[in-house]
Structure formats: C-alpha cells, structure tokens
Structure 1
Amino acid sequence: MKRWLSSFALLLLLNLPSNVEAEIRKELAIVIDDFGNHMEGTEEILQLPITITAAIMPFMPSTKADAEMAKEFGHDVIVHLPMEPKKGKKSWLGPGAITTDLSNEEIRKRVIAAINDVPYAVGMNHHMGSKATEDVRVMRIVLEVCKEHGLFYLDSKTTGKSVVGKVATELGVPYLENNLFFDGIYTTRHMMKQADLLAGKLNENEQMIAIGHVGITGLKMVDVLKAYIPVYKNTAEIVPLSELIPGFELLDEGV
C-alpha cells in the first residue's frame, strides 16, 4: 500500500521534525457512513487503530450489533438518517426515510424513532439527503429533535445549498460540516488521491472532517486508511466528532 503514497505524503511521514509536529498539531475526524446492514469492511474499519465516528443507519439488520461493536472499540456512534436526494429512487433510502412530502408530524415521528433505534448515538448526519437538506421546514424539524435529544449534527454537505448551518445556528444546535469525501468515485486511485489531498489540507487547517463508507468501497477504505493513518498522525490528532465540539461533554451522551 505504501507505494501509493505521494512524495508529499512521504515527506510528511518521514521527515517532519518532532518540534515542528508539536507546533502544528491539528485535529482530524474520520467518519464512516453506512453501517447497519452487514456491509463489507464493517469489522475491519472498526478494528483500525484509530478512533473514528461510525454513522449507523436505523432499522437495518445489523443496526444494533454495529452500534454495540463501535461502542466496544471506543468509537463515536451517530445516526445515519436516510434523507431524500435530488436524484435516485426513494427505495434506495431504506426504511424510515425523511422525504419532503411528509407532514411535520410524520417527520418528527420518524426522526425520534431513528434516534431510539441506534444505541449510543451522540449525533446525527444524513444518508444521501441533497434535496431534504435544502428544505428549511424539514431541517428545522430534524434539528429540533436533535436538540431535544442532546445530539449534534454533521452536515455531510451532499449539496452546496444546504440550510443545515443556518437552521442549526438559529436553534442553537451544535453542528459540524464535512470537508471531504474519500470515495465519491469508487476506485482505489481516486480514494488515494483524496487521502493525499486531505494530508495537504491538514497543513492548512486546524480542523478537518472526512467521510468514507463501508460497503462497495469498504475494504478499499480500510487499505487507504491503513496507508495514510501514519501520515495523518504526523500532522494531526485523529479524534471522534464529539471532540470537535467545545463543551460537548456537558450534553447528553446519547440514547
């Protein structure tokens, strides 16, 4: 795997003086989506020697088992709430999806049910959701429920027109924004390119969030992370999402 590392990444890995490392120490949160359905790479990702954030879909065959496993390995658990995209079939979303044609009452009911179905959840992000996250009415209800349950929200940024930040700020809900997807294209070459891009961005930013997936890219994701964990650790501390939110330890630790 190390043959894939760029010269830039190798420079970070091999030549960074310890005193410089201490001065530029940053924080990186790695989120892995789509747990909950016996997806390929599940155990391998959770057993990596870093703390990740496991985004687990509700109402799926291994929802609770994956949450238990993630908790056992010391990872953050968040609800990976299926939400309506602009393109694609609603059937791709799975059970309990939030769509823009639902009533206020039904949206609220589904969000509460999803939170209750994912043990140990401390936050939430969305599965797909490019249409729903542009809808102020929908996101206000989703975020109100998050606030009631003491959850933060990660905007996966599946659309550039997301209203999550605006509504979360109005409601006082802690929120974060994704900076990079590892696997928007399913090839190892693309994923390594994104991993290398992230290594560069860690030099420019104090805090970064990156999202990958189990499933189609699951085992590739494992290999990419194994190659780049040493690179990232030379520049940043790899932390769960909850550590990026000041004072989050004062909030409810999940249900």
Structure 2
Amino acid sequence: MRFSAALALLCCLTGAAHAAPVNHPDAHPKAYLSLIIDDLGQNLPRDRRVLAFPGPVTTAVMPDTPHAAEFAREAHKAGKIVILHMPMDPATGPFAWHPDLPIAELAKRLSAAFKAVPYTSGINNHEGSLMTAQPEAMAWLMAELQQRHKFFVDSRTSARTVAAAQAQKIGLASVSRDVFLDNVRTEQAITRQLETAIKHAKKFGSVVMIGHPYPQTLAVLERELPTLKAQGIDWIDIKQMIGVRSNQAMAAHGKDGVYR
C-alpha cells in the first residue's frame, strides 16, 4: 500500500512537471491585442463582414463616404466601438486637414466630420503624414478631443508624427498603432504581418494593429482571428488597450514611456 501510494504520488508529480508551461525569457506574462479596421463606410456588404469578426474590432469610419452614418449606426448597434477616421494631408476632400488651413477652418471641418459619423468614441488619422507633424495643429486637436471626451489613436503614418506626444502632454486618452497589416495586399504578406503582431504582443505585452477592408485582409482575419485565444492572445477593445498602456509610449515610439 505504501509503495503504491508513493508510486501514485511520484506519477502525479512527474505529470505536473511535464504539464508546467516553460516561459521563454523574452516572453511577456500577458499578451493583449487590439484591432482597428480603417476606411469603412464605402461599401456596406463588404464592411459588414468586419462586424461579424469574433471579437471587439474597432471600426474607423471615413466621413466622406456614402454609407458613413448608416454603417456607424450598424456598428454601434452591433456593440463595436466607432471612431472617426479623420482625413489629413496628403488626403483630400471636404473634411481633410491641411497645414495651411487656419485653426478656425480645422475646427469647422472636424465638427462636420463628427456630424457625418455618429456614435464616435474617438478619432484616428487617415493618411496625415504631413498634418500629424504640425505641433500647433496637433496640440489644438488634442485639447479639442479632451473637451469632447474623445480618445485619440495615432495611426503613425509618418515617423515625424507629434500627435501622440501632444496627446500625452495633456493626459488625453490615447494609444499608437504598432503594426499595419496590409501595406502589401496579398494573403501571404498579411498573414506574415499578423504573425509579427502576435510575436510583438507576446514580447512586449500588447499590440495595436490596423488593417483595411481589402478582400485579402478580410479573408486572412476571418480565418485567423478565431485562433488568437489558442495562441495565448487576449483580444481586447481599444479603450481597454488605452488602459493597459496607461498613455505610455511603447519602446518603438519613445523612451521610458515618453513619446519622442
């Protein structure tokens, strides 16, 4: 009996040892991921595929699209976070911001864009490589968003962006993009970018991805998103991600949590 009991205990301990996870020294104890899909509002049947994603996707709706208001209402009804995908230079159109515009005109265009896209919780920039490098305009924008109780996502379309830095200076709820999924529009390339995002989340603790409603992107995400949990990834919404990061810059975007 004693031998049997000892053997059983030894087997249990051996099994437990084999079952214990082995953490890589570079692995982060938590791995969070947030997903934003840009350029929505142009094509309802296509864009509705985004609403069927099995998790808290953030829908970034362009104000100068034919279905902006309708899609924003559908996304809100589906429980998805809606943000304004604000056109900025070199983007064009009636809402677009340009460096030569006075603040009064920027304010007018921003208000019109918010009216075009209902139920918004925040904003991110569409293009904007020139505009997000303008300290005065970005400082004004962050103060305006704070008054409107909106958060900001820096799409980081340029290494010269000062947008997130201006948000951080006044304590505006904000976060920055880490990985673009589909600069190259092939399923193979998009899959590789998603794999890169997952590795980033596991190494640094979190990742913010931005993609677009391209057929190739939608196909990859529809196939791969249901596997995230099995890969140890906790898919959270963008508001939760802002809480996770506490407005601090990731290593790629700044130093000691401060945006460059």
TM value normalised by structure 1: 0.80
Give the C-alpha shift of residue 68 in structure 1: 1.1
Instruction: Tell me which residue corresponds to 1:242.
Output: 239
Aligned residues: 221
1:31 matched to 2:31: no
Give the C-alpha shift of residue 20 in structure 1: 7.5
Instruction: Tell me which residue corresponds to 2:56.
Output: 51
Q: Distance in 2 between matches of 1:18 and 1:40?
A: 46
Give the C-alpha shift of residue 40 in structure 1: 6.7
Gaps of 5+ in 2: 1-18, 245-260
Contact 1:107 1:141 in 2 (8 A): no
Contact 2:185 2:217 in 1 (8 A): no
1:132 matched to 2:137: no
Instruction: Tell me which residue corresponds to 1:208.
Output: 207
Instruction: Tell me which residue corresponds to 1:107.
Output: 106
Among 212, 216, 222, the alignment partner of 1:220 is 216
Q: Distance in 1 between matches of 2:116 and 2:56?
A: 23
Q: Distance in 2 between matches of 1:39 and 1:33?
A: 14
TM value normalised by structure 2: 0.79
Contact 2:129 2:158 in 1 (8 A): yes
Partner of 1:97: helix, strand, or coil?
Answer: coil
Query: Which runs of 4 or more aligned residues in structure 1 lie more than 4 Å from their structure 2 counterparts after TM superposition?
Result: 17-21
Bigger relative contact order, structure 1 or 2 (CA pairs below 8 A, ≥6 apart): 1
Which aligned pairs between 1:11-26 and structure 2 lie closer than 5 A? Answer: 24-26=29-31
Give the C-alpha shift of residue 19 in structure 1: 6.6
Q: Distance in 2 between matches of 1:24 and 1:170?
A: 29
Contact 2:54 2:226 in 1 (8 A): no
Q: Deviations over 1:23-42 (max 9, x none)?
A: 94422110000012226731
Partner of 2:209: helix, strand, or coil?
Answer: strand
Computed over aligned residues only, the root mean square deviation of the Cα atoms, in angstroms, reads 2.1
Instruction: Tell me which residue corresponds to 1:72.
Output: 77
Gaps of 5+ in 1: 1-16, 248-255
Contact 1:185 1:191 in 2 (8 A): yes
Q: Distance in 1 between matches of 2:86 and 2:126?
A: 6
Give the C-alpha shift of residue 47 in structure 1: 1.0
Q: Deviations over 1:128-163 (max 9, x none)?
A: 000000011221222222111111100001001110
Partner of 2:243: helix, strand, or coil?
Answer: coil
Structure 1 residues 126 and 39: alpha-carbon distance in aligned structure 2, compared to 1, 3 A threshold: farther
Instruction: Tell me which residue corresponds to 2:144.
Output: 145
